[in-house]
Structure 1
């Protein structure tokens, strides 16, 4: 009888220890869940072949990546949201695009993040239209050339990297640059940590308050009525114009000293 009780206690202890050691491992695994990467080509879906090269490099590293036409960004957004919701935790989505595909990458990032799916990173190569990225996107990195057809991206979490004058890069081969591919892969594998909000500092104690003697209570006549609480200001009329929100600033990183390896890619028509 005693042996049975001892054996039952041992099994209970083993079960508790097993749960204690496996739970943190499962939590860590879910936190380090690899993202799903979508890459968008530009005009006619026959250029922007650097997107195919980058997707192959990502897949070789165990990161699931696929290449699509920029015209499919809306349908692809719906698909990405559905796929992300299949697991217990939404799978993070990373979006990369070139030229018209870069414009579509911002649109897709806005839509997917707006649906509640985490979008930690969007990378654009020489977008051809002015776009604004949502604050719900973790980070947007835009490689462009201000002297060409490339445009900066607006938004509160945007880093515009101007590569004007960097070697012989152009709109037709910027997405094929091997060094830029390495930067993108590094960002996907080692995403930047989220900023931690600073804790408010405690207010200093006013010494004069501590040392001041307590005031003697003032006698109030019994007939005096109690003071009424202060009136709460009425809310502003809905017809009044709201102040215009300040435009979100963009961060521009100088790339004058950057040395980018120019790929041996053929030229094509502008996309």
Structure 2
């Protein structure tokens, strides 16, 4: 009996010695396991990518105002014609005015009154080819040349060509006054036995201006049918109107012609 008890005690001591290392090993294994708490389950915070840092470091783009596109400038080709009267020798004031216009940068031509049909055809062709550039259209004439520009204005209106200004120095007829002409300026002398005031159609209003030089206080010297086209005051008035139509500003003119 005693021997059995001794054997049993030896077995217990040997078993305990064997179990102790296993328990220690198990405890160590348990300590090495990851913690399963909620905070431990969250993935670790990572540093921002280099590309994101570079994007954040870049300054905000500057707003650059774009230039507004401008409409192309139309190179104008003014159509300014001056017509002499009888025999092409009694209206040399038209030549003087031509020089005054050229000094203001306005190209023009001086012709005999009989040439108006061919000039009207030429202007019509130019206008049909380039309506925006063929402006302004201005016709000036003295005596029979004044009669010619009245007919020419009517013909251009029939052709669908707008005429900006018709200037008549002592016309010997009252018209025609065409609706396609934007403005008529008739400079005439009512008591010289030659000139006529232009007819003013109903509704024409200020489109037709009859200026009787006999009643004007700015005309100091007497004029006649044969020298009204040379009057300097009238020249200044007409040249200033043509320059304005061409989009310019009249320069001071040198003294020429009669008062």
TM-score tier by shorter-chain length is: 0.5 to 0.7
* Whole-Å separation in 1 of the counterparts to 2:257 and 2:236: 13
Q: Which moved more, 1:59-68 or 1:183-192?
A: 183-192
Structure 1 equivalent of residue 78 of structure 2: 35
- Report the aligned-residue RMSD: 2.7
Report matched runs for 1:21-32 at 5 Å.
21-23=69-71, 26=72, 29-30=73-74
Q: Which runs of 5+ in 2 are unaligned?
A: 1-63, 247-254
Distance 2:131 2:173 in 1: 37
> Which residue in the other structure is 1:196 paired with?
none
Preserved CA contact (<8 Å) 2:175 2:199: yes
Taking structure 2 as the reference length, the TM-score comes to 0.62
- Change in Cα spacing, 1:146 to 1:115, as seen in structure 2 (3 Å) is same
* SS at structure 2 position matched to 1:164: helix
Kept in 1, the 8 Å contact 2:169–2:186? The answer is yes
SS at match of 1:122: strand
CA contact (8 A) 2:169 2:228 kept: yes
Q: If the length of structure 1 is used for normalisation, what is the TM-score? A: 0.59
| Offset, 1:264 | 4.6
Counterpart in the other structure of 2:252: none
Match of 1:168 among 219, 222, 229: 222
1: distance between equivalents of 2:141 and 2:115? 12
Matching of residue 99 in structure 1 with residue 143 in structure 2: yes
What residue in structure 2 maps to residue 75 of structure 1?
118
1:96 positional shift: 0.2
Q: Which whole-Å deviations, capped at 9, do the CAs of 1:67-95 have from their partners, x for residues lacking one?
A: 11111111111111112334362512100
**1:57 equivalent in structure 2:** 100
More helix by share: 2
The structure whose Rg is larger is 2
Higher relative contact order (CA 8 A, sep 6+): 1
Report the Cα distance in structure 2 between the residues aligned to 1:47 and 1:178, rounded to whole angstroms: 17
2:161 alignment partner in structure 1: 117
State the alpha-carbon separation in 2 of the partners of residues 164 and 88 from structure 1: 39
Query: Shift in Å at residue 170 of structure 1?
Result: 0.8
- The answer to whether 1:159 aligns with 2:209 is yes
Q: Which residue of 1 aligns with 2:180?
A: 136
CA-to-aligned-CA distance 1:77-124 (integer Å, 9 cap, x gap): 111111233436251210000000001111111111321222110100
2:257 paired residue among 248, 259, 263? 263
Alignment CA distance shift 1:72-1:50 (3 Å): same
Q: Which SS does the other structure have where 2:125 is aligned?
A: helix
Q: Which one of the candidate residues 216, 231, 237 is aligned to 1:183?
A: 237
Residues 88 and 103 from structure 1, CA distance in 2 versus in 1: closer, same or farther, beyond 3 angstroms? closer
Give the number of aligned pairs: 178
Q: Which runs of 5+ in 1 are unaligned?
A: 1-12, 193-260, 266-271
Tell me the distance in 2 between the aligned counterparts of 1:118 and 1:65.
18
Residues 90 and 117 of structure 1 are in contact (CA less than 8 Å); yes or no, is this contact kept in structure 2?
no
